[in-house]
Amino acid sequence: MDDFYRDYILDHYRHPRNFGELANADVEAEDLNPLCGDQIRMQLKVDGGRVGEVRFSGKGCAISQAAASMLTERVKGMTLAEIAKLSKDAVLEDVGIGISPTRMKCAMLGLRVLKSAAIGELAGWPDEE
């Protein structure tokens, strides 16, 4: 079964879903993992209180990029409040294999960025100039 999930991760890494820029995004955030250099930016278009479109961009290892790709598929149709409540278990479920402690920050970077965008929007944080 691990081979299936490894192939699934590599497929998301080589052919990321929802990769690129989202023109006129309503919500966005970006962050990086300074330990390894992974970088992810998440952009959301919110329609009727739910995520209508989502895009991510960035660079990094297969785990960080694949996990971000999987996460974009998961959050379509969710509210920002639902995104803010997502746990690391959701990411680990999507990835499907055990992640070593040294790779956990890589796997969680997309979630951290996505939650930062959602929580910031819910709290009414001003856009950074």
Q: Is 46 exposed, middle or buried (0-12, 13-18, 19+ CB in 10 A)?
A: middle
pLDDT at residue 5, rounded to an integer: 63
Give the mean pLDDT of 87-100. Answer: 87
pLDDT digits (tens, 9 = 90+) for 46-67: 998 899 999 999 999 999 999 9
The answer to whether the pTM exceeds 0.85 is: yes
122's CB contacts (< 8 A; 6+ apart) are 80, 81, 84
Average pLDDT, the chain: 90
Mean pLDDT throughout 101-120? Answer: 92
Q: 36 or 16, which is more confident?
A: 16
Which CATH architecture describes the domain 2-121?
Answer: Alpha-Beta Complex (3.90)
Q: What residue segments make up the domains of the chain, in order of their start?
A: 2-121
| pLDDT-above-90 percentage for the chain | 67
Q: What share of the chain is helix, strand, coil (3-state, %, to 5)?
A: 50, 20, 30
For every residue of 44-94, DSSP letters joined together read: EEEETTEEEEEEEEEE--HHHHHHHHHHHHHHTT-BHHHHHT--HHHHHHH
Three-state DSSP class for residue 109: helix
Per DSSP, 24 falls in state: T
